[in-house]
Amino acid sequence: MRKKTVKDVSVKGKKVFTRVDFNVPLNDQGEIIADVKIKAALPTIRYLLSEGASVILASHLGRPNGKVDEKLRLTPVAARLQELIGAEVLKTDEVVGSQVTRMAESLQPGQILLLENVRFHPGEKKNDPRLAKAYAELADLFVSDAFGTAHRAHASNVGVAAYLPAVAGFLMEKEITALSRSLHNPQQPVVAIVGGSKITDKIDVLHNFLTIADAILLGGGMANTFLRAKGYNMGKSLFEPDQVEQAKEIMEKAQAKGVNLCLPVDVTVATDLHAAESAENVPVDAIPPEKMAVDVGEKTRALFAEQIKAAKTIVWNGPLGVFEVPAFAQGTVAVAKMVAASEAFSIIGGGDVVAAVEQAGVSEQISHLSTGGGATLEFWEGKELPGIAVLQDK
């Protein structure tokens, strides 16, 4: 990786402003449902502490839109981090201000300070230079370990780098290395699996995958638009009429490039998303007018399995059915097991697919589970992410 990491700089005796992604899911009682993102940041935090740094952590949680939201305070996150790391985690009640300055100044090597939810401050998402400078004045070095926000130019992950030397943490390094490998020097054949509800969300990534993939397997609502473009009657299935021409263009481009664009040959259909009992498996040319496609079918899964078995590199973004409904998640879970059983280098990005892999109990068999949603997608689109661009080059 061409970007500097925490191992390329001395941190001993320094205060290190560390941007992490602790945007964890909470239940109605404000309790953490899954702590995967907190655990992902532990290697960097532990390294900084072991090297004699004092660590100032910054993260967002939810979408408070620049205002204090009591339900989105980072108090439960601080408590969980303290349990996981086995050391006291101090926490501020403010993003910046006199309390924060005082606590940062008194922070000793080996201590951890967690700032309050940075998105409580209206200047965070605006990348306000005054806020970025206030962050920088707390520390001597900036470590970015929040890949999930790397596609956003905010004060705590991009703006602060204008005032402090900026390097990557271990999670950021891991993400950049794995995703770069899938794009720039993948082992062939490359199989891309693309799902989700809309083509509009995936146009750029589909076009970029056409330049690296040998086969692209399509599922989810977006596949319905491709099927409609091929002239199939989709019944009550959701598709994007205004993207039918775009789907035709992608299919033509795939054919010209010799990329095997695999569409479903059969689908699971139901009368609506709440009627699992009405589900049946039908060919794509026999979708009943009163039903909608909600998952890839059994023959489609078998076709996908053939491609996955032959792959040396697999990239996957987006579920292949209405994953929120267990009865319509079977295709996604089945394919997750296929990818796990493959000997290919595999990368999965996107919350629903990562959840499917965990639901299938095969997360340990995936080469890399990306912590980024939009960031992973934009990386695969070939875009330069602002949160990576600001890091110092080696």
pLDDT at 295: 97
30 and 112 belong to one structural domain = yes
* Residue 351 pLDDT > 80: no
Mean pLDDT, rounded, of the chain: 96
Amino acid at 202: K
CATH number where 277 lies: 3.40.50.1260
Q: State the average pLDDT over residues 151-159.
A: 98
Residues spanned by the domain of 45: 6-170
Residue type at 387 in one-letter notation: G
> Which one-letter DSSP state was computed for residue 18?
E
Whether 158 and 197 share a structural domain: no
Confidence category of residue 118, pLDDT binned at 50, 70, 90: very high
Q: Kindly indicate the confidence band of residue 373, based on its pLDDT and cuts at 50, 70 and 90.
A: confident
Distances in Å between the Cα of 329 and the Cα atoms of 7, 117, 245, 320, 321 are 42, 34, 29, 8, 6
Residue-wise pLDDT for 161-172, tens only, equals: 999 999 999 999
Q: Is 200 found in the same domain as 150?
A: no
Sheet containing strand 54-58, strands side by side: 89-91, 112-114, 54-58, 15-19, 141-144, 166-168
pTM for the model: 0.92
Tokens of 390: 């600001």
Location of structure tokens 């969980």: 80
Q: Are residues 150 and 259 in the same domain?
A: no
Question: Sign of the C-alpha dihedral, residues 254, 353, 309, 218?
Answer: negative
State which of 170, 199, 224 marks the end of a domain: 170
387, part of any domain: no
Q: C-alpha angle with apex 229: 228 to 235, nearest 5 degrees? A: 10
- Look at residue 62 and tell me whether its pLDDT is greater than 80: yes
Q: Residue type for 361, please?
A: G
For residue 72, the surrounding DSSP H or E stretch is none
Query: Is 15 in the same domain as 158?
Result: yes
358 pLDDT exceeds 90?
no
Domain count, the chain: 2
Residue 357 banded pLDDT, cuts 50, 70, 90: confident
217-249 tens-digit pLDDT: 999 999 999 999 999 999 999 999 999 999 999
pLDDT tens digits for 289-300?
A: 999 999 999 999
Same domain, 255 and 272: yes
Give the CA diameter of the chain. 70
Q: Is residue 117 in a domain?
A: yes
Q: How many CA atoms lie within 13 A of 154 on its CB side?
A: 25
Confidence of residue 353 (pLDDT cuts 50, 70, 90): confident
Residues 334 and 246 in one domain: yes
